[in-house]
Structure 1
Amino acid sequence: MAKLSPLMILPPVIFAGLAVLFYVGMLRENPDELPSALEGKSAPAVQVTQLGDKKLFNDSDLRDGEVKLVNYWASWCAPCRVEHPNLEELAAQGVTIYGVNYKDKPAKALKFLNDLGDPYTAIGADSGGRMALDWGVYGVPETYVIDGKGKIILRFAGPITDRVMQNQILPAIEKAR
């Protein structure tokens, strides 16, 4: 009888492993939704630097007893421009929004806000992407709903559209209250 080589067993084992991963991925309620390991946990530390003369926020601002959003954005991000009017609408409704300018040039970020408006209560720059890495950011825009104790209630990856605002962001804000 021929002896089985480990190289002959390896391809079926790899195939079976991949099949299990794909099957588990299909079981998710919304396969387009990116999972977040941080929902329900305390928000990671705030590590931002000053952006122009804009008011800077810090870690204690996330734990001040009030519900707020943390929005990662950049001037070079086309979807960030799409969501911007909805952020302004949320700010006009009294929602506190902290902005994290992600891997951007300060002059371009400030021009973006000057041209489109500034919905942020306070803002900071994450030029190296360190804070974004700690928060599990996949890309911009990305928005987190944070309760008054600093716990992440919702993470939404992608632009906040009218539908997202009505069906996900506003209900998460209510839940956080």
Structure 2
Amino acid sequence: MTPGTRQRTWATAARQARRAAARHKLAAAIVAVCAAGVLAALALASSDAPGPAPAGDPAAAAFSLPVLGHSGRQVSLAQYAGRPLVVNFFASWCDPCKTETPLLAGFYRDEHAKVAVVGLDENDALGHALSFTRADGVSYPVGWDPQTSAASAYGVAALPQTFFLNARHRIVDRVYGAVTLAELSRGIALAIGR
């Protein structure tokens, strides 16, 4: 082997070693990014998981808003003192809200003696909000909250969200997204203390 050949062999080996190291660094970076993404998704999912509120059942924030379609009337948390309450945050432009509203309207028609329902229309134009609730046969009180003050007080970042309050107005359950019949049944059972 001549000195030039030996030099080319060492140069080739060094190049291959650098390439292998670069591939290992790239693979490690990809694994790190994927792991960070999985951890972030798990953290987000656990913080937004539906189900009973943490121990201590936080108190519901007070609200007082104009009733949609009833000039001069207000709906407030205080009006329901001593009664379990379902508080649903929604908007006419929210597709999942369109899915859950008939379920809530039907529940209210059949069961309003057991548990009261209040809808809070968030960040919506008055005309759209009125059309939306009338089209779905909503007969429970709906507070109009175009400035999202109630949603902010409850920590609502996305619609819809439904809160279940016991008679002392402690939050006993919360559903992120369109509420299902099973979630509605579970939340009501918790609210009335079954």
Q: TM-score, normalised by structure 1?
A: 0.73
Partner of 2:147: 128
Runs of 4+ that moved beyond 2 A: 23-26, 47-52
Deviation at 1:132, TM superposition (A): 0.5
Q: Which residue of 2 aligns with 1:107?
A: 127
Q: Residue deviations 1:67-105, cap 9 Å, x none? A: 110001111111111111211221122132101010001
Larger radius of gyration: 2
Matches within 5 A, 1:137-148: 137-148=156-167
Q: 1:50 to 1:173 in 2, by over 3 A?
A: closer
Q: CA deviation at 1:33?
A: 6.6
Structure 2's unaligned 5+ residue stretches are 1-31
Which one has a larger percent helix, Structure 1 or Structure 2?
2
> Per the alignment, in what secondary structure is the counterpart of residue 93 of structure 1?
helix
Opposite residue 104 of structure 1, the aligned amino acid is D
1:22 to 27, 34, 39: 39
Taking only aligned residues, the RMSD between alpha carbons, in angstroms, comes to 3.0
CA contact (8 A) 1:74 1:104 kept: yes
Q: Which has the higher contact order (CA 8 A, sep 6+)?
A: 1
State how far apart, in whole Å, the 2-side matches of 1:110 and 1:131 are. Answer: 19
Question: Structure 1: which 5+ residue stretches go unaligned?
Answer: 1-14
Alpha-carbon offset, residue 35 of structure 1: 4.9
Total equivalences in the alignment: 153
User: What is the TM-score of this pair, normalised by structure 2?
Assistant: 0.67
Aligned-residue sequence identity (percent) comes to: 24
Change (3 A) 1:34 1:23: closer
